[in-house]
Structure 1
Amino acid sequence: MDRRSLLTKGGAATFGALALTAVTDGTAFAGTAQSQTSGHPWAGPLPDPATTPVPDPPFPKGLTAGERRNLRTFDELDFDVFSHADWDRLDESHARTIRVHWPDGHYTDGIDKHIADLAAMFVWAPDTRIESHHLRVATGDLTAVAGVMRGTFTRPMPDGKGGTIAPTGKKYAISMATVGLWTPRGVMDEEFLFWDNQTFYQQIGLA
């Protein structure tokens, strides 16, 4: 399977397809399918992690050193770098020329643009953070991780037209998935972000 082609054309089904591919390829998968052997406390299908906290499982068994390194780097990215808006460290996980694909279909090129886009989220929701990685896939130079992003709309949001949208004070908690393609030196040169924008805007009171 051409994973890069799947990523650029797969839409909402991409994460599931990647997980299925990992299983059929014999790649370790952490989650409900491995719950009896991986130590995950959930023995059956997971609840919605955005509304019911789901403990993170251990890393899958059978990973190569590179696959384990990439998953560990991604944990550090989400839990420490992103959640604390420590943008000076983003190059620990992102190539300078990274291409990032966003849930609405547009993409950006370069780490500086990506930093600006991420920082913009903290302008109106300074408590934005990633709280879990309840599913992890790693195979070769590809990772796919599902988690939960949370925050609160407490400050004015720039509307892109020179004005602002008044904060609603509403909290959001959305399930998301990130698929990354990694270079041999252990940074992503392409990243795909997936979440439901409609649910996101509904939760913060803008839809």
Structure 2
Amino acid sequence: MQTFDELDFDVFSNADWARLDESHARNIRAHWPDGHYTDGLDQHIADLVALFAWAPNTRIKSHPIRIAMNELTAVTGVMQGTFTRPMADGKGGFIQPTGKKYAINMATVGIWNRQGVMDEEFLFWDNQTFYQQIGLA
């Protein structure tokens, strides 16, 4: 659980992607709240970079619920930030920032290997609430 706390509180919250391999396997499969998944640490980092591109102050500072059993961990937290920079729309354009803050409940479930890093990560949050808070829904 200490590694998970450091992942969210230090690595994620400070966008220190060079340290992501401390908690993630090179071939990590990451499942995202919209239903898609990616394979590989490089792609996972690219997705995280894209998340921080439009909300560079994104952060998670607490895990009120922390569960660990064998190779499984699960934590909850509040991911928060502010939509201050243009967001890629996936069609070659950009959505202009609204300046709105967000604070959404999130959960992460991890499956860890014998080397002490995650082979698979499941990310959960309510995208509808997220988009409402940043002014896109």
TM-score band, normalised by the shorter chain?
over 0.9
1:10-58 per-residue CA deviation (whole Å, 9 max, x = no partner) reads xxxxxxxxxxxxxxxxxxxxxxxxxxxxxxxxxxxxxxxxxxxxxxxxx
Greater radius of gyration (CA): 1
State the distance in 1 between where 2:90 and 2:4 align.
30
TM-score, length-scaled by structure 2: 0.99
* Structure 1 unaligned blocks of 5 or more: 1-70
More helix by share: 1
Equivalent in the alignment of 2:119: 189
Counterpart pick for 1:180 among 91, 110, 123: 110
Which residue does the alignment assign to 1:170? Answer: 100
Where structure 2 has 5 or more consecutive residues not aligned to the other structure, the ranges are none
Question: If each structure's strand is expressed as a fraction of its own residues, which one has the higher value?
Answer: 2
> How far apart are residue 131 of structure 1 and its match?
1.7
Partner of 2:14: 84
RMSD of aligned C-alpha atoms? 0.5
Matches within 5 A, 1:142-157: 142-157=72-87
Q: How does 1:55-70 map to 2 (within 5 A)?
A: none
Counterpart of 2:106 in structure 1: which amino acid? M
- CA-CA distance at 1:104 after TM superposition: 1.2
1:131 touches 1:150 (CA, 8 Å); kept in 2? no
- For residue 169 of structure 1, give the secondary structure of its aligned residue in structure 2: coil
**In structure 2, distance between residues paired with 1:120 and 1:109:** 16
Runs of at least 4 residues off by over 4 Å:
none
- The size of the alignment, in residue pairs, is 137
Q: Match for residue 141 of structure 1?
A: 71
Q: Identity percentage over the alignment?
A: 79
Larger RCO (alpha carbons 8 Å, 6+ apart):
2
TM-score, length-scaled by structure 1? 0.66
Say which SS state the counterpart of residue 62 (structure 2) adopts: strand
Give distance in 2, aligned partners of 1:165 and 1:106: 21
CA distance in 1, matches of 2:56, 2:107: 21
SS at match of 2:116: coil
